């Protein structure tokens, strides 16, 4: 459901500084925008404050928020944080896999202690000389995806 009072929403939106040049300060108990761009350089993303602000002002709790060009999930994760029901479509396999990996952070069933142990083990055993592409499923075109994972 959209916001109940469109006139109130317009008044709020007129007061927003859309430059977002100044970092907002959030208290630990407040919900803050989640910056997907911090973890991947995916092209054509925008600052999370834009969808966060629009979703917060223009929708009510439990509303469906649909992003037809999901990208790396900027809008999706803002909607999730704001207690909306996010939906997204995306055709880029890299973006889809990235969104799936980020979703682990938001999944209440994720065991972060076990996840941390697994990551620490992987880092301990890591060797820059080892070819890890043999672990990738055969249907993934690794040579076509490599340029997307590093600048």
Is 1 a domain residue?
no
Q: Which residue has the higher pLDDT, 150 or 80?
A: 80
Instruction: Look at 19-28, 62-71, 78-87 and tell me which has the smallest mean pLDDT.
Output: 19-28
Is 138 a domain residue?
yes
Residues 112-129: what's their mean pLDDT? 90
Burial class for 70, CB neighbours closer than 10 Å (0-12, 13-18, 19+):
buried
Which residue spans within the chain are E strands per DSSP?
64-67, 85-88
Q: Which domain holds residue 105?
A: 6-149
Q: How many domains does the chain have?
A: 1
Is 80 a domain residue?
yes
In this prediction, residue 24 carries a pLDDT of 61
Is 114 a domain residue?
yes
Share of residues in the chain with pLDDT > 90 (%): 37
- How far, in Å, CA of 98 to CA of 71, rounded? 9
CA atoms within 13 A on the CB side of 22: 4
Residues 40-66: what's their mean pLDDT? 91
- How far, in Å, CA of 63 to CA of 5, rounded? 15
Q: Which residue has the higher pLDDT, 19 or 48?
A: 48
Model pTM score: 0.71
Is 94 a domain residue?
yes
Check if the beta carbon of residue 35 is closer than 8 Å to that of residue 48.
yes
Binning pLDDT at 50, 70 and 90, where does residue 32 land? Answer: confident
Is residue 65's pLDDT more than 60?
Answer: yes
- How far, in Å, CA of 9 to CA of 126, rounded? 51
Residues 118-139: what's their mean pLDDT? 83
Binning pLDDT at 50, 70 and 90, where does residue 22 land? Answer: low
Calculate the alpha carbon distances from 91 to 44, 75, 94, 110, 141 in Å.
Answer: 14, 16, 9, 26, 15
- How far, in Å, CA of 23 to CA of 36, rounded? 16
Is 20 a domain residue?
yes
Host H or E run for residue 10: helix 6-14
| Beta pairing class for 85-88 and 64-67 | parallel
Share of residues in the chain with pLDDT > 70 (%): 85
């Amino acid at each position: 459901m959209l916001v109940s009072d469109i006139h109130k929403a317009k008044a709020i939106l007129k007061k927003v500084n859309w430059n977002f040049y100044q970092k907002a300060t959030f208290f630990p108990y407040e919900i803050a925008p989640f910056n997907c761009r911090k973890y991947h350089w995916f092209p054509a993303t925008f600052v999370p404050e834009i969808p966060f602000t629009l979703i917060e002002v223009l929708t009510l709790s439990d509303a469906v928020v649909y992003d037809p060009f999901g990208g790396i999930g900027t809008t999706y994760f803002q909607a999730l944080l704001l207690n909306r029901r996010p939906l997204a479509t995306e055709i880029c396999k890299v973006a889809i896999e990235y969104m799936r990996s980020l979703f682990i952070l938001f999944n209440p069933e994720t065991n972060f202690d076990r996840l941390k142990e697994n990551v620490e083990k992987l880092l301990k055993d890591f060797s820059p000389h080892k070819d890890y592409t043999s672990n990738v499923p055969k249907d993934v075109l690794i040579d076509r995806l490599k340029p997307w994972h590093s600048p």
